[in-house]
């Protein structure tokens, strides 16, 4: 959809809508149900569309969204890995049973996602086939997603482990300016985050994708 919008000279707003959908489903494509090697391989293929999405957002003046999309596309796999290690103290204080379920599933999912070169065994010490391993991995990912949705139903946990919004990302610029550069075939830009949570857009017309 997004590519067709570019080919057929659709309005920037229509392109933005298409790329918004792309960025929404990106975590499902590069999902925890796949092993980490496959996720990084997918990211290499999808990195360019993420940069194009940011370029479209910049073109329509959606600078905060561009920053969010650049961070989301850049750090999605590491963000997934870090989410499996998220301290659950706040959740444990509200619902200790749910916190324990999430922690147990996280640990199992991390093992399934990073141990593709190891021989795994079931509870009866029987070696698991690749098909068994894949089925178990997908089931754990589904259970993890369901637990996350259950957590997000609780008051105060609506954004639990969701991609960070600009208000959160802008905190890195509390004491100094942070500059993010986006390189795309359509345009090249720099976005400067300054301490008052304002974004300064710097177009780079002399830069090219090459």
Contact 53, 2 (CB under 8 A): yes
pLDDT for 76? 63
Portion of the chain with pLDDT greater than 70, in percent = 65
pLDDT for 72? 78
CB environment 44-63: b (16+ within 10 A), e (fewer)? eebeebbbbbbbbbbbeebb
Nearest residue to 42 via CA among 80, 7, 68 = 80
Q: Supply the pTM of this predicted model.
A: 0.58
pLDDT for 116? 47
| Alpha-carbon span 13 to 140, nearest angstrom | 38
Say if strands 178-183 and 188-194 run parallel, antiparallel, or are unpaired: antiparallel
Q: What is the mean pLDDT of the chain?
A: 76
Contact 49, 93 (CB under 8 A): no
């Amino acid at each position: 959809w997004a590519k067709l919008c570019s080919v057929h000279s659709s309005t920037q707003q229509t392109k933005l809508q298409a790329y918004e959908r792309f960025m929404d489903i990106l975590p499902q494509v590069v999902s925890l149900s796949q092993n980490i090697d496959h996720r990084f391989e997918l990211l290499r293929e999808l990195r360019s569309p993420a940069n194009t999405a940011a370029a479209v957002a910049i073109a329509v003046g959606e600078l905060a969204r561009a920053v969010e999309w650049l961070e989301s596309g850049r750090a999605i796999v590491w963000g997934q890995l870090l989410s499996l290690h998220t301290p659950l103290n706040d959740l444990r204080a509200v619902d200790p049973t749910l916190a324990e379920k999430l922690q147990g599933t996280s640990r199992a999912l991390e093992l399934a996602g990073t141990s593709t070169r190891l021989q795994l065994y079931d509870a009866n010490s029987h070696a698991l086939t690749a098909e068994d391993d894949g089925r178990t991995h997908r089931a754990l990912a589904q259970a993890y997603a369901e637990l996350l949705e259950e957590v997000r139903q609780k008051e105060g946990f609506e954004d639990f482990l969701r991609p960070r919004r600009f208000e959160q990302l802008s905190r890195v610029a509390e004491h100094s300016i942070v500059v993010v550069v986006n390189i795309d075939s359509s345009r090249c830009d720099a976005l400067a985050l300054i301490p008052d949570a304002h974004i300064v857009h710097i177009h780079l017309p002399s830069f090219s994708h090459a």
